[in-house]
A and B are shown apart, each in its own frame.
Chain A
Amino acid sequence: SQTIHQWPATLVQPVGSPLSLECTVEGTSNPNLYWYRQAAGRGLQLLFYSVGIGQISSEVPQNLSASRPQDRQFILSSKKLLLSDSGFYLCAREEGAKNIQYFGAGTRLSVL
């Protein structure tokens, strides 16, 4: 199976501090990668997706940015966190012709 690594698992950050969440994947090259945010008791909101190195598409204008410096590395960043950035952040990769997305274990971010 293809493996998705996300870290850290949990993170507590003060308002105004920077953020860097990393996702690395194993397996086939040039995967489509995705960042989602999930608020408590809610569904998944697509934040960014990438179809290749340096190619980032933003779905929602916000306080976050994403980068893909390597084929299997996808990074979610912020220069200054807001309280509203709290949530469960999930990285996913798309596999095969069926567009099935497989998810990492997620990072629980609390901004205080």
Chain B
Amino acid sequence: GESVGLHLPTLSVQEGDNSIINCAYSNSASDYFIWYKQESGKGPQFIIDIRSNMDKRQGQRVTVLLNKTVKHLSLQIAATQPGDSAVYFCAENPDYKLSFGAGTTVTVRA
């Protein structure tokens, strides 16, 4: 079964607003986490990663937060754009294999 899950399967966001996508993981041994974006009919695309020795990492318009105490990971997207509509997956890496959650579908409203 999947050891990484998501709080909500869908998220509807107004264009220009910030998006927050949440993810819970269960494996305490995981020390590396990745967020992927998958557009319809395409392969997942790497967005941002974070190691367990960090609690926050920022990229271009995206921020990943890691709370190891409660095994929670989140992806924040600033000023959400129509092109951000996609399925977002978190993945954890307790060893050399990634374990993916089921994904959150983000829909951006114009």
Contacts and interface: CB of A to CB of B under 8 A. Distances in A.
B58 to A, nearest CB: 17
Contacts of A99: 32, 93, 96, 98
Nearest to B103: A43
A108 B34 CA distance: 24
A102 B44 CA distance: 8
Q: DSSP class of B's interface residues: helix, strand, loop or mixed?
A: loop
Interface residues of A, number: 22
Range of interface residues on chain B?
Answer: 20 to 34
A101 interface: yes
A43 B3 CA distance: 11
B89 A100 contact: no
Interface in B19-53: 32, 34, 36, 41-46, 49
Interface of B: 2, 4, 32, 34, 36, 41-46, 49, 89, 93, 96-103
26 contacts: A32-B96, A42-B102, A42-B103, A43-B2, A43-B89, A43-B100, A43-B103, A44-B89, A44-B100, A46-B97, A90-B44, A94-B96, A98-B32, A98-B49, A99-B32, A99-B98, A100-B34, A100-B49, A101-B98, A102-B46, A103-B36, A103-B43, A103-B45, A104-B43, A105-B43, A106-B41
